[in-house]
Structure 1
């Protein structure tokens, strides 16, 4: 599963390694930046007077080791993680309460005597439990000193934002109420609350789970015990429950959660045995669609487009529908997919041919009518007069006068009584026949003109409808093409985000990543930036790079050897002194060591590494004198390989986020 880690970078790296060993993919998104504080003026006095030191977090152990070289004071640690960290830093007397803040207070009551002296609580600026109040009734004096501060991030880390936007997370881990509250606030500010619908929230305690109640997580789980191991066990249970089809169980222990970066609970009130409560929402493990999924998605989308075209066929214009059916009937093989470009061309050709045919037909009819009218007029003008008269036939003249009178009578009001016209002589049968023929020709011409007008109007309407249908088909085609391109771009960006997360996890944990890098090859084709990042990672893919935590752990030995080489020369006494310093040496440490000497630079480099700034530590080591190269060359080479691989993986993640944004 893809698991989001919200702890500070040092704890997140260790936790990512544990998740990778269990087969999960960690996504590191620190919500806090750890800053080691300078000890107050009274710290040395309090340390010398106290009978024991209370450590409520692993970071407290590291800050104490930075503040003092004294390792003999008894240490009471809240949990096993804090105890093992203190032992690794050289403290010789360490006892673990293996629980929460209440367990630590109980351990102090059992092992310590209030009359033996005060207790010193080493903590951060923000605390979840006040041991001074908890132990005051038992007669203990507890002095608290803040040696580190966890500064909150002002925006959601890019890795978390990209994973949420791509919906590439399956679970998220929370180790304190403060971290949960900050995560909820940053997610809401980023507008990504809806992206949590497929994510399971796993918290170290019910108190750490409470600030997440307003977010739409798929399921929420509180660990049975307030320890890191219990949280990892809850992560391992999720895939098994999904594969068995069982509902997700949200186990809520009746103990309060730890403060930020600590094993200490947020409240002294808790119940001894854990109580389990079960929610019925199942956990669904999402793994993204991948390259094959993107291809299948495109194929399904194409099928849907073709089905939509076939369903909407009855509503197409008649010409396009006839064209489609004619092509289907003429082909013996199954009809191919609809070619919108061909449809547009055919529709335009049909419209143009119809208009041209209508124009030719109308022009021919008008020419014929004009010829017939001219012929009738010429025949009437050239008709010879009756024998024995010198002018036109009087019967025709009377008939024309009668027609004109009738036309004038129709135009005047009925009240006006026309003057009695002389009764013309009845026309001859030939004249009656000719007049009837002319009237028939005139009526036929009028009907023809009306028919042509109607035909032109119908053709104009059909052309308009056909043009609208073509424009609509063009718009729908463009919209579908744009949607398909966005879907493919989003799928590619999601795949890149998943691969970048796997590469970053491998670099942080020091594992080989040749298999993950091979997945990047098909996505990097045609993309110069991705190809450049893949080439940069190829050199480290087979064997991986040294983990950052391992580099930090190796540095004290490297610094001791470098300091010994810097002090030695060719004289026997100096060579002997250099060998002695290589075995047992004292050197200053801390970020506040001044000067440009080898010892000062090594001290500042080690402080930078402890603060998580590997690049600054490498830069300081490179400025050491040449005689230290033998001691630092190997470490420096491994550190630079880690930085180069991390930079390449970060570039892939950044480009994937950019592609995802453009796809939306």
Structure 2
């Protein structure tokens, strides 16, 4: 699953590693920026006077290590991860409450005596539980030192915005009420609330879950215990339904306390098992999956990637499909790739041709109408004009007068016989001659024809205008549909490309973590990276390690003690016989100090801090410390440094590919 992590960058990186080992794809989107603060003037006094230090988060341990070199004070930590962080930083007496803030307060009441001295609570600026108030009734004097501040982001991180907008998330993790409230506010301000309908929210406690009720999540889940391990267990439970008949065992190994912002999430304490229940055997917590676990994890991830690849195979570019099906360029001719630019050009050419044809047809019909109108006008103009050049045609005027006379005579048929005896002037002929009748009929027919012709022309022009308007609308609609179809095809291709990149990035990360070669997986990335400068740069960085792979982090951790012993022996040996002999002896059997609290800047101190950083999972810090060793140790550390830097470079390139794939998927949606 794709899981959104909202914790600060340092915690998010560790959590992302745990999710990757479980087969999930982490999307890191820190909502807070961690800032280490300078201790107050009375911090040193409070530190020296206190009987014990209370740590409610792993960042408190880191801030305390930055503020003071003391490592001997007893530490009471809220959870196992906070305790492990303190131990990795060199604190020698650390006890874990394995729970939340209330569990830490109960541990103080059980282990400490209020008369033995005050307590120092190292925390952030914002806290959820005030230990001074909680333990005041028991007589404890608790002083607080705010050594770090988690500053809120003013906008949703780009990685979260892209993943939410693309609906590319399956779950989101929240470790404090403050983080949940900030996430809900930023999502609403970005207008992305509706895009969370397929996301399951998993919080460390019911109190951290409550601010998320304003968002339309698919489901909301509160962890059974306020620990990071319980949150990870809830993630693993999402895709698989619980088996009804499976035996129920109480989890005992918790590896994380509350988050840095909410040191004590408000959640009820777990109910104690009945007295008759048989106590489960202690669980040994191991770091990492080991070789066998990494192998099976990689196998499961490969199966998931294969299933996703088969589903999205029809949308892959032709080159990738050819590589997937095992078709070599030398033996089989690859299918021609879909040229979207050519498709768009062909569609535009067809549309333009249709428009041009319609324009030509309309132009021809309008020209014909214009010719007919000009012909009618010319025919009327050819009739003889009056002598003065103006006025109506005499023939037409004469015909009109004759028509009127005939119509008048037809209206009074007895007028011709009313007075036959009375003499009168020479009368107008009673009836027109046959020639006049014929000419009159011809003129009437011609006038009627002209009127009909003009009326027909007007109707035809109006119809042609309507047809032109409809044709233009149809052409615009066709162009819009073609553009929408091209945009949809482009989005589908981009989504398929992003999905393929996510699968390849997962396989590359698994190969880097397990120390296996990844040349085949990198070959799948080559056609997808064409035209993308960032992907090409990442692929080039991985090419140098593809054939043989890189050393896994567990291998580098296992090799470091021998490297440290040899480096320390080389550093102590000089040109004298006695020192060379002593160096040889130290190369065989050596006793050196370990831990992060070794004082000084000597070789032994740097090696001790580098080893502590490796144990804490910070390979980059260990490499930086080894690089600062004296030149005489280079012979012993050169090989280890080369393998460690290769691991860091390959891991960084694989992470960049995964981040770029999520961004592309968001833009495609």
Bin of the TM-score, shorter chain as denominator length:
0.5 to 0.7
TM superposition shift of 1:231: 0.8
2:538 equivalent among 533, 549, 552:
533
Q: Label 1:651 to 1:405 Cα distance change in 2 as closer, same or farther (>3 A).
A: same
**What is the 5 A alignment of 1:50-449?**
50-67=50-67, 71-241=71-241, 259-261=258-260, 264-267=263-266, 270=268, 272-273=270-271, 340=351, 343-356=354-367, 358=369, 404=401, 423-425=427-429, 432-449=433-450
SS in 1 for 2:362: helix
SS in 2 for 1:240: coil
CA contact (8 A) 1:72 1:91 kept: yes
- Cα distance in 2, alignment partners of residues 41 and 555 from structure 1: 40
Question: Can you list the C-alpha shifts for 1:534-566, whole angstroms capped at 9, x where unaligned?
Answer: 333344457766788998999999788767756
Q: Label 1:171 to 1:584 Cα distance change in 2 as closer, same or farther (>3 A).
A: same
Q: Label 1:622 to 1:75 Cα distance change in 2 as closer, same or farther (>3 A).
A: closer
Query: What number of residue pairs does the alignment pair up?
Result: 564
SS in 1 for 2:214: coil
Question: Can you list the C-alpha shifts for 1:517-541, whole angstroms capped at 9, x where unaligned?
Answer: 5664554345455444333334445
Question: Can you list the C-alpha shifts for 1:491-534, whole angstroms capped at 9, x where unaligned?
Answer: 45545655666638965983569587566455434545544433
TM superposition shift of 1:406: 7.8
CA contact (8 A) 2:595 2:612 kept: no
Q: Label 1:8 to 1:663 Cα distance change in 2 as closer, same or farther (>3 A).
A: closer
CA contact (8 A) 2:52 2:120 kept: yes
CA contact (8 A) 2:58 2:81 kept: yes
TM superposition shift of 1:158: 2.6
Stretches of structure 2 that go unaligned for 5 or more consecutive residues are 245-255, 273-303, 317-348, 385-393, 408-423
Where does residue 638 of structure 2 map in the other structure?
A: 633
CA contact (8 A) 1:289 1:491 kept: no
SS in 2 for 1:213: helix
Relative contact order (alpha carbons < 8 A, sep ≥ 6): 1 or 2 greater? 2
CA contact (8 A) 1:8 1:34 kept: yes
Q: Label 1:120 to 1:439 Cα distance change in 2 as closer, same or farther (>3 A).
A: same
Q: Label 1:453 to 1:656 Cα distance change in 2 as closer, same or farther (>3 A).
A: farther
Q: Label 1:645 to 1:296 Cα distance change in 2 as closer, same or farther (>3 A).
A: closer
- Cα distance in 1, alignment partners of residues 442 and 509 from structure 2: 98
- Cα distance in 1, alignment partners of residues 167 and 395 from structure 2: 99
CA contact (8 A) 2:169 2:199 kept: yes
Q: Label 1:659 to 1:139 Cα distance change in 2 as closer, same or farther (>3 A).
A: closer
CA contact (8 A) 1:178 1:259 kept: no
- Cα distance in 2, alignment partners of residues 69 and 86 from structure 1: 13
Q: Label 1:527 to 1:401 Cα distance change in 2 as closer, same or farther (>3 A).
A: closer
Q: Label 1:27 to 1:556 Cα distance change in 2 as closer, same or farther (>3 A).
A: farther
- Cα distance in 2, alignment partners of residues 481 and 398 from structure 1: 63
- Cα distance in 1, alignment partners of residues 395 and 355 from structure 2: 64
- Cα distance in 1, alignment partners of residues 13 and 63 from structure 2: 18
- Residue 483 in 1 paired to residue 480 in 2? no
CA contact (8 A) 1:5 1:30 kept: yes
Q: Label 1:15 to 1:434 Cα distance change in 2 as closer, same or farther (>3 A).
A: same
SS in 2 for 1:26: strand
Moved more, 103-112 or 453-462: 453-462
- Cα distance in 2, alignment partners of residues 462 and 533 from structure 1: 63
- Residue 510 in 1 paired to residue 513 in 2? yes
SS in 1 for 2:155: coil
Q: Label 1:240 to 1:11 Cα distance change in 2 as closer, same or farther (>3 A).
A: same
Q: Label 1:588 to 1:189 Cα distance change in 2 as closer, same or farther (>3 A).
A: same
- Cα distance in 2, alignment partners of residues 190 and 610 from structure 1: 40
SS in 2 for 1:239: coil
- Cα distance in 2, alignment partners of residues 130 and 398 from structure 1: 118
Moved more, 488-497 or 103-112: 488-497
Q: Label 1:196 to 1:544 Cα distance change in 2 as closer, same or farther (>3 A).
A: farther
- Cα distance in 1, alignment partners of residues 479 and 377 from structure 2: 44
TM superposition shift of 1:663: 6.7
SS in 1 for 2:201: strand
Where does residue 460 of structure 1 map in the other structure?
A: 461
Where does residue 19 of structure 1 map in the other structure?
A: 19
Moved more, 23-32 or 491-500: 491-500
- Cα distance in 2, alignment partners of residues 399 and 23 from structure 1: 102
TM superposition shift of 1:7: 1.8
- Cα distance in 2, alignment partners of residues 399 and 540 from structure 1: 105
Stretches of structure 1 that go unaligned for 5 or more consecutive residues are 245-256, 275-285, 298-337, 378-396, 411-419
TM superposition shift of 1:474: 2.4
Where does residue 286 of structure 2 map in the other structure?
A: none
Moved more, 531-540 or 21-30: 531-540
Q: Label 1:122 to 1:366 Cα distance change in 2 as closer, same or farther (>3 A).
A: closer
Where does residue 346 of structure 2 map in the other structure?
A: none
TM superposition shift of 1:469: 2.6
TM superposition shift of 1:623: 7.2
CA contact (8 A) 1:36 1:63 kept: yes
- Cα distance in 1, alignment partners of residues 243 and 508 from structure 2: 26
- Cα distance in 1, alignment partners of residues 210 and 552 from structure 2: 34
Q: Label 1:102 to 1:630 Cα distance change in 2 as closer, same or farther (>3 A).
A: same
Q: Label 1:663 to 1:224 Cα distance change in 2 as closer, same or farther (>3 A).
A: closer
CA contact (8 A) 1:510 1:544 kept: no
Question: Can you list the C-alpha shifts for 1:404-439, whole angstroms capped at 9, x where unaligned?
Answer: 5887999xxxxxxxxx98523457xxx711111111
Question: Can you list the C-alpha shifts for 1:258-304, whole angstroms capped at 9, x where unaligned?
Answer: 7533894245x845539xxxxxxxxxxx999989659679xxxxxxx
CA contact (8 A) 1:493 1:656 kept: no
TM superposition shift of 1:599: 9.6
- Cα distance in 2, alignment partners of residues 562 and 544 from structure 1: 26
Q: Label 1:588 to 1:101 Cα distance change in 2 as closer, same or farther (>3 A).
A: closer
